[in-house]
Amino acid sequence: MSKLNGKIAVVTGGNSGIGYASAKELKSQGATVIITGRNSEKVQAAATELDVKGFVADVESISAIESLVDQVRNEFGNVDILFVNAGIFQPAPVGQISEEMFDHQMGINFKGAVFTTEKFLPILNDGASIINLSSVNAYTGMPNTAVYAASKAALNSYTRTAATELASRKIRINSVNPGPVATPIFEKTGMEEEQLNGFAQAMQNRIPLKRFGQPEDIAKLVSFLASDDASFITGSEYNIDGGININPLLS
């Protein structure tokens, strides 16, 4: 099936994890895909593997987002699908949260996400689909995730309001809230391998379906929300978490 034939899709943070899998899935459905990321080598390597276009852009910088929009407009014209996926995870307990950590996570996960949409809006076609990557952490109260969770809760709130305001252009905007997914984001936290393994095992035991999600699981949902099959869906949040959010105390 090629539900996205003729569509132009942009995936931020598309060089690894959920972004990479989603870019691959969107392309398989017929879309012309552009991925972005902060690291030039990683972006170009992923773009070559996926056979898509890669642009370097750090969403923490508004001027970089503006430059990205100009590049996309000049080469591809208007956009039909915007997957606002770029994000970071930096765990820290309450009482040990630094201003730098706060600004960095909020700068990418919330401010960067908001201004990605803000700056792309002029080149989004009427009827376009925006998908924001959020997290079930927005609701779980999981230790050491206060700022990360707050950034995602803020993004979900923004999504609901934006859905109301963008409806006049038939632009749909929705949030995807993954639970634990096997991606490189955890490896970037600075935790030792032993800590990571222990964390992963403890987390997996709490998931009713007893497994981590795979990036491809999320990609399928992103592809659905990007398609006309989801034409009556906006302002919604989709938990895709193996059931952890409905039974967080399961052991």
Q: Would you please indicate which residues are annotated as catalytic (active-site) residues?
A: 148
Nearest to 173 by CA among 134, 138, 146, 143: 134
Q: How far, in Å, are 91, 102, 172, 195 from residue 83 at the CA level?
A: 24, 24, 12, 31
Spell out a b/e string for 105-128, using b for 16 or more CB atoms within 10 Å of the CB, else e: bbbbbbbbbbbbbebbbebbbeeb
Distance CA 37, CA 14 (A): 6
Q: Compute and round to an integer the Cα radius of gyration of the chain.
A: 17
**DSSP-assigned beta bridge partners for residue 84:** 132
Distance CA 89, CA 167 (A): 31
